[in-house]
C-alpha cells in the first residue's frame, strides 16, 4: 500500500571508524541505489545518554555527516538529515507514549544492559527509558518498511512493530469505515470488485494467505484508486481497520564485523580503531605495530594465523591467493610479519583513498554540507507531515484541518 522505504539512523559519536563502514555504511551505500532511503543523525538519542555533556553533539554531528558522505552516501540518491531538525519525530514520540505500556520499554534488553554497563551515568531517566519509543517514532513517521540495523537493535525493531500494530488497532477505526470501504470496492469496477470480495472472504473465513497476497497484488495494480481508498481496501481486507502506520522489518547488515587492531571488535573505546579518514602515515604505523601471533617472537619462529589479529584483517581484505600465501608463509616461517601485513595496509589505504577525497570537498566548503542537510531536512519534514496529518486525525486532534 505504501511504497518501499528504508530508514536508519546513527547516534553522533564523532569521527567514525572502519568498523562503522563495514558494519553499516557500506550497506547504506548499497541500499540507496536500490530503494528510497532516509538516513539521519540521531542527535536526540545521543542526549538520552549524554544529557550531562551536550557540548560534543554539534561537532560530532557534522563530523559524522562528512564521514557518511566520504563513505559514499549520496545526497542525490538518499535523504540525509538531522533528527532534531524534524521536530515531528518528537510529536509522534509523545503521541505514541500515550498508549505504550511501560513493560514494553522496560523489557527491551538494551535498557537494563546499558544501565549496568554505563555505571558512571545515571540512566534511570525518563528519556532513556523512552529511547526505543523515540526510535519507533523515527521509523514509523516515514511509514518505512525496512530498517537496516545491527543485531543488537533487532529488539527495538520488534517493538516498533508492536507499537504500529497497537496504534492501528486503537486508532484505525475510521467513522463509517465499513461503508467507505464498500464504496471503494465499487470503484474497482465490477469484475475486480467481485474478485476482491471473493479473495477477502477466502482470507477472512479460511485464513488463506495466498488469497490475501493475490488481493494485495490486485490493489497494487488498480490505477484508478485514490491513495485513501487504496488504504481503506488494504485495511478492509484484513479486518475493519485502516492501516495508519506501517509495521517495519529489520534488515540485518551482512555480518561483516571488522576486527580492530587487537583482534577484538573495532571500537573507539577499546583504542583499537582506524578512523575512516585517518591519514596514511598514521594508518600505516598502527598496522605495522599491531600485535601478531604472540608465539612468533623471532622471524624464524613459525606462527599460527588463527592466533593472530592480522589474519582476521586478511579475512576481510585479502583474496584467496593472498590468504593462502599468508597461511603457508606463517606456518613455515617463510614470511615475516611486516611482509604479511603489507597487503592489508595496501588494501586499507586503497579503501580510504576515495573517502579522503570526497571528505575534502566538504572540509574545504562546509556550506555544501549545510545545504545538503537543509535540503534533506525539508524532504523529511514533508514526508513526516503527511503521516502526522493522519495520526493527528486518528487521535482526535485534527481540528478541522
Using CB under 6 A as the criterion, which residues of the chain lie in contact with ligand SF4 when the complex forms? 292-293, 296, 303, 305, 308, 310-311, 326, 330, 335, 337, 340-341
Stretch that binds ligand TRP, among 62-70, 135-143, 187-195, 286-294 (CB under 6 A): 135-143
For ligand TRP (CB under 6 A), the number of binding residues is 13
When the beta carbons of 53 and 306 are compared against ligand SF4, the nearer one is 306
Which stretch in 97-105, 146-154, 171-179, 263-271 sits in contact with ligand TRP by CB under 6 A? 146-154
Residue 392 CB-half CA count within 13 A: 13
Q: Which of 61, 84, 135, 387 binds ligand TRP (CB under 6 A)?
A: 135
Kindly state whether residue 93 participates in binding ligand TRP, applying the rule CB under 6 A.
no
With contact defined as beta carbons under 8 Å apart, do 171 and 164 qualify? Answer: no
Q: Would you say 93 or 200 has its CB closer to ligand TRP? A: 93
Question: CA nearest 355: which of 20, 42, 44?
Answer: 20
272 binds ligand TRP, rule: CB under 6 A: no
> Rule CB under 6 A: is residue 147 a binding residue for ligand TRP?
yes
388 binds ligand TRP, rule: CB under 6 A: no
3-state secondary structure the chain: CCCCCEEEEECCCCCCEHHHHHHHHHHHHHHHHHCCEEEEECHHHHHHHHCCCHHHHHHHHHHHHHHHHHHCCCCCCEEEEEHHHCCHHHHHHHHHHCCCCHHHHHCCHHHHHHHHHCCCCCCCCHHHHCHHHHHHHHHHCCCCCEEEECHHHHHHHHHHHHHHHHHHHHHCCCCCHHHHHHHHHHCCCHHHHHHHHHHHHHHHHHCCHHHHHHHHHHHHHCCCCCHHHHHHHHHHHHCCCCCCCCCCEEEECCCCCCECCCCCECCHHHCCCCECCCCHHHHHHHHHCCCCCCCCCCCCCCCCHHHCHHHHHHHHHCCHHHHHHHHHHHHCCCCCHHHHHHHHHHHHHHHHHHHHHHHHHHHHCHHHHHHHHHHHHHHHHHHHHHHHHHHHHHCCCCCCC
Q: Name which of 143 and 341 has its Cβ closer to ligand SF4.
A: 341
Interface with ligand TRP by CB under 6 A: which range of 5-13, 55-63, 277-285, 330-338?
A: 5-13
> Smallest gap, in angstroms, from Cβ of residue 82 to ligand TRP?
12
* Partner touching 193 among ligand SF4, ligand TRP, none, CB below 5 to 8 Å by kind: none
- Please identify, among the stretches 133-141, 202-210, 369-377, 378-386, the one whose residues bind ligand TRP according to the rule CB under 6 A: 133-141
Among 7, 25, 211, 313, binds ligand TRP (CB under 6 A): 7
In the complex with ligand SF4, the residue whose CB is nearer, 335 or 395, is 335
Interface stretch with ligand TRP, choices 6-14, 25-33, 378-386, 390-398 (CB under 6 A):
6-14
- The C-alpha cell 487504496 sits at 230
The 27-46 contact track toward ligand TRP, x by CB under 6 A, reads ---------------x--x-
Q: Which stretch binds ligand TRP (CB under 6 A): 132-140, 176-184, 213-221, 385-393?
A: 132-140
Comparing every residue's Cβ against ligand TRP, the nearest one is 9
Shortest Cβ 340–ligand SF4 spacing (Å): 3
Q: Give the residues lining the site for ligand TRP (CB under 6 A).
A: 7-11, 42, 45, 135, 138-139, 147, 149, 153
Amino acid at each position: 500500500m505504501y511504497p518501499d522505504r528504508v530508514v536508519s539512523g546513527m547516534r553522533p559519536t564523532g569521527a567514525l571508524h572502519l568498523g562503522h563502514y563495514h558494519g553499516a555504511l557500506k550497506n547504506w551505500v548499497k541500499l540507496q541505489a536500490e530503494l528510497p532511503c532516509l538516513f539521519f543523525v540521531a542527535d536526540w538519542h545521543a542526549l538520552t545518554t549524554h544529557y550531562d555533556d551536550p557540548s560534543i553533539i554539534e561537532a560530532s554531528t557534522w563530523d559524522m555527516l562528512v564521514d557518511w558522505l566520504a563513505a559514499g552516501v549520496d545526497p542525490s540518491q538518499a535523504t540525509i538529515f538531522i533528527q532534531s531538525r524534524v521536530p515531528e519525530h518528537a510529536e509522534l514520540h509523545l503521541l505514541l507514549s500515550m498508549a505504550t505500556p511501560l513493560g514494553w520499554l522496560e523489557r527491551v534488553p538494551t535498557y537494563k544492559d546499558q544501565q549496568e554497563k554505563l555505571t558512571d551515568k545515571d540512566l534511570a531517566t525518563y528519556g532513556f527509558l523512552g529511547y526505543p519509543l523515540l526510535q519507533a517514532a523515527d521509523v514509523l513517521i516515514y511509514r518505512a518498511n525496512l530498517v537496516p540495523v545491527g543485531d543488537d537493535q533487532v529488539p527495538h525493531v520488534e517493538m516498533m512493530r508492536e507499537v504500529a500494530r497497537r496504534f492501528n488497532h486503537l486508532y484505525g477505526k475510521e467513522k463509517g469505515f465499513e461503508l467507505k470501504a464498500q464504496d471503494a470496492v465499487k470503484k474497482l469496477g465490477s469484475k475486480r470488485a467481485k474478485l476482491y470480495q471473493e479473495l477477502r472472504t477466502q482470507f477472512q473465513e479460511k485464513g488463506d494467505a495466498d488469497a490475501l497476497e493475490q488481493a494485495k497484488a490486485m490493489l497494487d495494480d488498480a490505477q484508478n484508486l485514490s491513495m485513501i481508498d487504496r488504504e481503506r481496501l488494504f485495511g478492509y481486507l484484513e479486518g475493519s481497520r485502516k492501516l495508519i502506520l506501517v509495521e517495519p522489518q529489520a534488515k540485518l547488515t551482512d555480518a561483516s564485523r571488522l576486527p580492530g587492531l587487537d583482534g577484538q571488535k573495532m571500537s573507539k573505546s577499546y583504542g583499537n580503531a582506524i578512523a575512516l579518514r585517518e591519514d596514511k602515515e598514521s594508518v600505516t604505523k598502527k598496522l605495522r605495530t599491531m600485535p601478531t601471533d604472540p608465539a612468533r617472537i623471532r622471524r624464524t619462529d613459525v606462527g599460527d594465523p588463527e592466533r593472530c589479529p592480522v589474519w582476521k584483517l586478511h579475512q576481510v581484505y585479502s583474496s584467496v591467493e593472498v590468504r593462502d600465501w599468508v597461511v603457508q608463509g606463517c606456518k613455515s616461517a617463510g614470511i615475516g610479519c611486516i611482509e604479511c601485513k603489507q597487503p592489508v595496509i595496501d588494501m586499507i589505504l586503497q579503501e580510504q583513498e576515495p573517502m579522503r577525497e570526497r571528505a575534502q570537498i566538504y572540509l574545504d566548503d562546509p556550506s555544501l554540507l549545510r545545504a545538503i542537510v537543509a535540503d534533506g531536512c525539508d524532504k523529511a519534514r514533508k514526508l513526516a507531515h503527511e503521516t502526522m496529518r493522519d495520526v493527528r486525525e486518528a487521535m482526535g486532534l485534527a481540528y478541522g484541518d
